[in-house]
Structure 1
């Protein structure tokens, strides 16, 4: 192999990559806010004894878990404007697509954590006369969030990586700007290697945080 790496063109194109990274981080943060909040609400609705509330959100979870994220993103970008005659800017559409996908996966993490809350906790809240809303906010949510945190963080990392899929619909994220730079410089190996390192540099510390949280949780429970 006689190929020689040349990072000169990457250095000159670093600013567009940084602009793309800003869009990627905006997508990630906003999608995680949706995923963390909406995921908990969906988990509660899925656990409702009322089938009218339970089944639609069960189908919501299964749809997003059982279809490729790429298909979901393309469907949001091209089908929603046609079907509903609603036109939203590309960044907002990307946030909704990734956020709803993340909410479905987080809902399952929350549901498992809620089911792990000990029954005597519920008995204590009833004895104290707490309303269902107070019980949920002050007792169930803190414990479920703490138990589900490693999975929620891991899902958040996955959402960060999935943002690369929005490049296919021309949203100018890190991956999209990298594709343009690779085409302009004819240096795809260098460009996509740098992009991979950027994703790794952000994801790896967070993954280590997940492992630390899991180890600490096991130590506290032992």
Structure 2
């Protein structure tokens, strides 16, 4: 290979990359707050005995799980303003698209965790006179959160990586700034190598944390 790597030219764009990383982190945090919160609510709706409640929730989950995230992002940016006459800033649109995508995947994680709650705990809540809402808040929710933490964190890593897709609608995240820098410096290989390293440096430690949590849980269950 005759290609000569030269990273020196990237020094002029470090500030822009850091600014892009800041936007990426903001998108990730906001999307995770939506996904973790709404995911539990959607999981309860999916498990409802009422078909009128269950069916729309299931359609929501399947739509976001079975369509590409990039299509969802583009749809939000171009279709929502036209169809619903709702105009939000690009960052908010990105947060909503990513947050609802994460909600669908987290809902499945919560649903599996809720189904694993021992029947005895439900019976104990009924025996104590707890209302259905109290049983959800004090019995189901704590168990579901503990059981689904590894999956929720893994999904959170995935949404961090998927934030790169918002560059297609001109949100100035890390990927967007990287593309601009690659065009300016004529060094796409070096630029995208640095960007890949940044994504890896953030994702890898969190992935290791997930593995540590799972190992600890396995040891505790023995």
**Is the TM-score greater than 0.5?**
yes
What is the aligned partner in structure 2 of residue 56 from structure 1? 56
Which residue is equivalent to 1:8? 8
Structure 1: distance between partners of 2:10 and 2:34: 34
Answer yes or no: is 1:133 the counterpart of 2:133. Answer: yes
Aligned ranges 1:1-222 → 2 under 5 Å: 1-222=1-222
In 1, Cα distance between the equivalents of 2:124 and 2:202? 42
CA offset at residue 132 of structure 1?
Answer: 1.1
Q: Alpha-carbon deviations, 1:36-74, whole Å to 9, x = none? A: 000000000110000111000000000000000000000
Q: Residues of 1 paired with 2:216 and 2:133: CA distance?
A: 30
Any gaps of 5 or more consecutive residues in structure 2?
none
Give, in whole Å, the separation in 1 of the partners of 2:122 and 2:187. 60
Secondary structure at the counterpart of residue 36 of structure 2:
helix
Superposition misfits of 4+ residues, deviation over 4 angstroms? none
TM-score by length of 1: 0.99
Secondary structure at 2:171's aligned position in 1?
coil
Paired residues, number = 222
Shift of 1:8: 1.2
How many angstroms apart in 2 are the aligned matches of 1:209 and 1:79? 38
Distance 1:86 1:148 in 2: 34
Q: Distance in 1 between matches of 2:165 and 2:75?
A: 13
Deviation at 1:95, TM superposition (A): 0.2
> 1:133 offset after TM fit, Å?
1.2
C-alpha displacement at 1:131, in angstroms? Answer: 1.2
Name structure 1 gaps, 5 residues minimum: none
RMSD over aligned Cα, in angstroms? 0.6
Distance 2:103 2:216 in 1: 26
Q: Deviations over 1:119-165 (max 9, x none)?
A: 00000001111111111111111111111111110000000000000
Distance 1:171 1:179 in 2: 12
Shift of residue 7, structure 1, vs aligned partner: 1.2
- TM-score, L = length of structure 2: 0.99
